[in-house]
Amino acid sequence: MKSFQLESGSMKMGNLQFQESIYVAPIEDNMLLGLDFLKKHKAKVDLSRDTIAIGNETLSMNNGEQVKVAQVKVRRKIKIPARSAPKVSCELNMPLYEYVVEPELDSLMVPRSVQRGDKPPIMTFFNCSDRTVKLSKGQVVGLAQGFESVISDENEPEEEELCVKQVRVEVNSTGQLPEHLQDLFERSKQELTTEEQNKLKEVLIDNADAFSSHDLDLGSFDTIEHGIDTGEATPIKHRLRRTPVCFAGEEEKHLEKMIEAGVIEPSLSEWAAPPVLIRKRDGSVRWCVDYRALNKVTKKEVFPLPIVEECLDALSENMWFS
């Protein structure tokens, strides 16, 4: 970086005038005060108030009002499903009246937004990947910078009006059913009129993300945690089982697919059980886990069941179920 020195330059701070050696360099800041200058003039720096006192003069170290910056955090642990854009209520670690939110995530696309402090900040997370993204409770997802509304001056000349063309973007502007819903629609429209078929088609298109698009598109529900009561039983040990030759390549391939889809995750649990691969009729592989030993020591929970006959009577002569 190139720079040069002025042996004696005039500098004014507030009502104070100084003659000092000044170094001129291409830096981002307007001016930097060196420690030699501060010691020479016995300056007192108050970081809590952002002020600097030299003699009887107290000067602000901010060019204007101090900008407040708060962290935007997730209120609870959530999962963002693949190819979805949910709106999530977040919280600030300090109050702000009006502020601009800048995203701080690399795994998700988050648009910048202007929010008001009278309501919790709502952020939209776009997950364009094929795997679920997890956000932990209290995780920082953005920075909120406060600002003041700009009120136009009546004496200012009127600005030229801008014409903006509004474009409405729809998830499925062609009105075509996704491929994974074609079979469901064909089987469901048999007894429907043309008008009813169109309504059914609209419902399926609007809720396409609620249907599984492939075998590993299972979704998740994390509001309730399930516990297994094993009493005083100790963890059951299992020896490793050799993978059959016919499943050697498929086992590893299927395992990687499930990890990538977020169906399973690495674990060192003492209750781990060996996998069992079963060949289905269509030639694909069904991945199972041998939990028979765990089931033997599990304390069964008893729940009252409704009378089966009454349930069947309620379904009598009905054609549509949801």
Where on the phi/psi map is residue 82: left (φ > 0), alpha (ψ -120 to 50), or beta?
beta
Please give the full DSSP string across 26-75, using - where no structure is assigned: --SSS----HHHHHHTT-EEETTTTEEEETTEEEESSSSSPPPEEEEEES
User: Looking at the predicted structure, is the pLDDT value of residue 298 above 90?
Assistant: yes
Contacts of 255 (CB under 8 A, 6+ apart): 264, 287
User: Looking at the predicted structure, is the pLDDT value of residue 171 above 50?
Assistant: no
Each residue's pLDDT tens digit, 104-137: 888 899 999 899 888 889 999 999 888 888 898 8
Confidence grade of residue 162 (pLDDT, cut at 50, 70, 90): very low
Is the Cα dihedral 5, 9, 15, 16 positive or negative?
positive
Q: Are 85 and 135 within one domain? A: yes
Q: Are 85 and 139 within one domain? A: yes
User: Looking at the predicted structure, is the pLDDT value of residue 62 above 70?
Assistant: no
Q: Are 55 and 77 within one domain? A: no
User: Looking at the predicted structure, is the pLDDT value of residue 49 above 50?
Assistant: yes
Residue with tokens 């999530």: 88
Please, how many CA atoms are within 13 Å of residue 123, restricted to the half-sphere of its CB? Answer: 29
**Considering the domain boundaries, does residue 254 fall inside one?**
yes
Confidence grade of residue 161 (pLDDT, cut at 50, 70, 90): low
Each residue's pLDDT tens digit, 23-43: 788 777 777 888 888 888 888
Distance CA 206, CA 227 (A): 35
Confidence grade of residue 166 (pLDDT, cut at 50, 70, 90): very low
- In DSSP terms, 57 is beta-bridged to 54
**Considering the domain boundaries, does residue 14 fall inside one?**
yes
Question: Rounded to two decimals, what is the model's pTM?
Answer: 0.38
Where on the phi/psi map is residue 174: left (φ > 0), alpha (ψ -120 to 50), or beta?
alpha
Question: What phi and psi values does residue 275 have, to the nearest 5 degrees?
Answer: -80, 155
For residues 107 and 46, the answer to whether their CB atoms sit within 8 Å is no
Average pLDDT value for residue range 237-244: 82
Q: Which helix (H) or strand (E) holds 202?
A: helix 194-206
Average pLDDT value for residue range 145-154: 63
Distance CA 298, CA 236 (A): 12
**Considering the domain boundaries, does residue 187 fall inside one?**
yes
Total structural domains within the chain: 4
Q: Are 99 and 120 within one domain? A: yes
| Structure confidence at residue 159 (pLDDT) | 54
Task: Specify the DSSP class assigned to residue 257.
Answer: H
Each residue's pLDDT tens digit, 300-320: 888 888 898 888 888 887 777
Last residue of a domain, one of 146, 170, 192: 146
Q: Are 98 and 125 within one domain? A: yes
Confidence grade of residue 67 (pLDDT, cut at 50, 70, 90): low
Please, how many CA atoms are within 13 Å of residue 80, restricted to the half-sphere of its CB? Answer: 24
Distance CA 65, CA 221 (A): 46
Q: Which domain range does residue 75 map to?
A: 69-146
**Considering the domain boundaries, does residue 302 fall inside one?**
no
| CA-to-CA dists, residue 166 to 1, 102, 111, 163, 172, angstroms | 47, 24, 18, 10, 18
Distance CA 223, CA 249 (A): 36
